[in-house]
Amino acid sequence: MIHRASGPESMPARIARPVIVFLGATALSSLALLGAQALLGIDGRVLALVQFAPAIGALIALAVGRRELGALLPHAVPHRRLGAHMLLALGASAVYAALLAGALLAVAAGNLVGTDPVAGVPFALFALLQLFGALGEEIGWRGVLQPLFEARLARVWACVATGLVWGFWHVQFLTDPLLAALFIASAVALSILLGWVSRGSWWQRAAIAGTIHWLVNLALHVLAGDAVGTMSVTLASAVAATGTAVAVLVLLRFASRRSTGLRRLRR
């Protein structure tokens, strides 16, 4: 459920301000973190500092308009429901990994890395750093930006809008038109998956979406290795993301209809 702010001001105006602050702060933070990455010499394959830009953007948006943003963000859901959606997130991640493996075999792409050290960093530490990065992104994207869009748009369109922003934020994939189109398609499909599975408050959504984001990144690394970012792997990821999103939406639709039918029978 989304809080609705009261007052004579229109809903679009109340949403626009925090969205603009969030996007502006995220963009500036991204530039600063990219500079810090180069200055510190941190290998981007191990940890991309720019992943924390959406979290910084969310914190700045909250600091600038705490009351306004707080009135638009959703309530927390009970722990039982949170656990159910976390299990769904794990299942969706497994489906994505399986579909990605099949798609990579179909296009004969990828360079299997497995759990070998990455740039001299043990895989366990690499995986932990990737988790921090995924959560850093999802605090902003699914924790704050999507709920703001949901206050104005239907959930599916809020997911699409968030996915488009998320996709275009990855400017390194936008140099080639076809690669950009495939990456944006993959980002939107993943955004629908992440946004639909995530429920609850900003931190609950970030936890669920961050788990899927993390496992998707690990699956790409293990199955595609240094080929991540190439045309064939991006195509495979788009296919896997779309297939997983469709499967999850169908499952949730079926579960919703079954639950409705059982409630009617009990009456």
Confidence of residue 214 (pLDDT cuts 50, 70, 90): very high
The DSSP line for 6-73 is -SSS-HHHHHHHHHHHHHHHHHHHHHHHHHHHHHHT--TTT--GGGGHHHHHHHHHHHHSHHHHHTTS
The answer on pLDDT for 227 being more than 80 is yes
Element (DSSP H or E) covering residue 130: helix 123-140
* Amino acid (one-letter) located at 3: H
Looking at every residue in the chain, the average pLDDT score rounds to 89
CB 221 within 8 Å of CB 116: no
**Predicted pLDDT at 112:** 63
Token pair recorded at residue 10: 């229109």
Distance CA 37, CA 207 (A): 25
* Amino acid (one-letter) located at 172: Q
The answer on pLDDT for 259 being more than 80 is no
**Predicted pLDDT at 94:** 97
More confident residue, 154 or 15: 154
Q: What is the DSSP letter of 75?
A: P
The answer on pLDDT for 45 being more than 70 is yes
Distance CA 134, CA 102 (A): 24
Confidence of residue 2 (pLDDT cuts 50, 70, 90): very low
**Mean pLDDT over residues 154-162, rounded?**
96
**Predicted pLDDT at 153:** 92
Residue in 60, 81, 74 with CA at minimum distance from that of residue 17: 60
Token pair recorded at residue 130: 């990737």
**Mean pLDDT over residues 22-32, rounded?**
97
pTM over 0.85, yes/no: yes
The DSSP line for 81-113 is HHHHHHHHHHHHHHHHHHHHHHHHHHHT-----
